[in-house]
Amino acid sequence: MILFFYNLALFVALVAGAPWWLWRMATTHKYREGLLQRLGRVPRSLISTSFGDRPLIWLHAVSVGEVLAVTRLVKELESVLPGYLIVISTTTRTGQALARERFDSTRVFCCPLDLPWAVHAYLDALQPRLLILAETEFWPNLLDGCFRRGIPVAVVNARISDRSWPRYRRFRGLWRPLLSRLSRVLAQSQTDADRLLALGCLPDRVSVAGNLKFDVRAAQESEATRFLRSMSAELRFIVAGSTLEGEESTLVEEWPRLLAEDPQLVLVLAPRHPERFSSVAALLHKSGVLWSKRSSWSAESSSAPRAPRSLRPGEVVLLDTIGELASVYSLASSAFVGGSLVPAGGHNPLEPAQFAVPIVIGPHYANFVAIVDSLRSHDALRIAAKDELGTILIELLNDRAVAIAMGIRAKEVFDRQAGATDRCVEAIRELLAASYEAEPAFSEPGQ
């Protein structure tokens, strides 16, 4: 009955919003990209006989952050479950691009919209032995479709943020019939576990595995990192990552103050969303600062791309590429993690922490409360309001001993809380073994 009213409301919303969606699709490429897949057209690559008869695991990761978080998990699962094929879906365009870069693109696809016919088309074609959801992607038709087919559903890195909790709690009666049927829920923290239990997850199926993002490592040094190192000579970097509208302008306004303290600085500015690259470029051009684009460094030729020149003191580099930021953080004397000066919930401060870089964020970090609190409790992070950002960055520039000690403590926190991946792998192995007697497909890592 609940599913009937959900689908009725979904249908009404689609009909009412159709003019707006049609207009967006006609005028904006990103709204057309992957549309047929989202409506239920399964890519041929997913049903190709080249994959053989291996049973399939479907893992869904919404966007860039989730793809980064599950990258190591996928590789570890492939190691211990060599008899299985793991396919990965994403929701966002940027997540899709990164997933195709991290994994074999033939097994990466756009997650179908939570429409009955679209969901059923994928479940019928893929016939997964297990669905793994990253964080809290609880889509009723997808879950119901799995339950009807007897497909177990596991949730890794599960969390209910402070911002989302009141909304979930208000409708917990609607969630209980679905969440009570989840096979395994691996929560980031005890708070997340308690909230999921309150929403209807069964106690014997919920455990705290930790945060997969503490296991995130830059897969390899990116081309941008090599370029920046070779171009920089004696320059020092401030890296501002995952920035949103309003944050770049604040950094550009503060840039003259920072240069007055240290004329040998370079600012690397990495907007969160690719569709904003052009608007940030326009902002930099209008501001009059010395700046360049990362994309202009790579020559489209068969020869190895080369950096065209040395960076100049005071230059701002617009990192207008996807998937290179995590590695670029390794060059930073200090890092600002965006999405936090504006009320957007923040982004992952662990990316710079893994390189022992001192971290600054804004006051809006609802999406990463546990991680931020852990870093703050070890004095490994600074929180700055919009009008304090320049001052705090200057303090870290002027007192290198304090900045270096902060970075070391951040890396210690990062290293100490690792291990969630191993716990998730073991739980998934146990779930498959219990559900499908899949022991012959198992092997120990390295075998």
Cα distance between residue 25 and residue 351, in whole Å: 34
Cα distance between residue 156 and residue 426, in whole Å: 12
C-alpha of 98 from chain center: 9
At 220, the amino acid letter reads Q
Contact 124, 151 (CB under 8 A): no
Q: 283-287 contacts: CB < 8 A, separation 24 or more?
A: 283/248, 283/249, 283/252, 284/252, 284/316, 284/318, 287/252
At 439, the amino acid letter reads E
Nearest Cα neighbor of 141 from 115, 164, 165 is 115
Cα distance between residue 370 and residue 352, in whole Å: 16
Rg (CA), the chain: 23
Active site (annotated) includes residue 324? no
Residue of 66, 137, 247, 315 with catalytic role: 66
Directed axis angle between helix 93-102 and helix 64-80, to 10°?
30
The residues carrying an active-site annotation are 66
